[in-house]
Amino acid sequence: MLDSAKGWLYFFCITLMDNRIPSGDVYQPAINRGWWVIRVNGIYIALFFLWTQFHWGGEQHQVLIGNLAFIPVEISWIAMWWRTAMYPALSRRARWGWRLLTAGALCYGIASSIIWNYLELVLQQQPYPSMTNSQPVFEWYMPLSLTLYVVFPLLFCGFILITEAFKSRAELFKFFLDTGIVLVGLGTPVWYFLMRPIVETYPNVSEMALLLQYPATTLVLLFIALIILFKSSGSRDNSPLQWLALAMLVACIADIAFNHLIQEYTYQTGDPIDTLYLVADLLLMTGAQW
Instruction: Measure the CA–CA gap between 205 and 109, rounded to whole angstroms.
Output: 30
CATH number reported for the structural domain that contains residue 162 in this entry: 1.20.1070
- Euclidean distance between CA atoms 65 and 200, whole angstroms: 36
State the Cα–Cα distance between residues 238 and 201, nearest whole angstrom. Answer: 44
pLDDT at 15: 47
Total domains in the fold of the chain:
1
pLDDT of 225 > 80? The answer is yes
Predicted local distance difference test score (pLDDT) of residue 25: 38
Residue 101 above 50 pLDDT?
A: yes
Q: For 103-135, write each residue's pLDDT tens digit.
A: 999 999 998 888 888 888 888 877 766 554 444
Q: How far apart are CA 1 and CA 20, in angstroms?
A: 31
Domain that holds residue 175: 2-289
Q: What is the pTM of this model?
A: 0.80
pLDDT band at residue 168 under the 50/70/90 scheme = confident
Return d(Cα 19, Cα 34) in angstroms, integer: 10
Residue 30 pLDDT: 46
Cα separation, 141 vs 261, whole angstroms = 18
Nearest one of 186, 168, 198 to 224, comparing CA atoms: 186
Which tens digit of pLDDT belongs to each residue from 13-55?
Answer: 544 444 443 333 333 444 568 899 999 999 999 999 999 998 8
Distance of CA 101 to the CA centre of its chain: 11
Q: Answer whether 159's CB lies under 8 Å from 224's CB.
A: yes
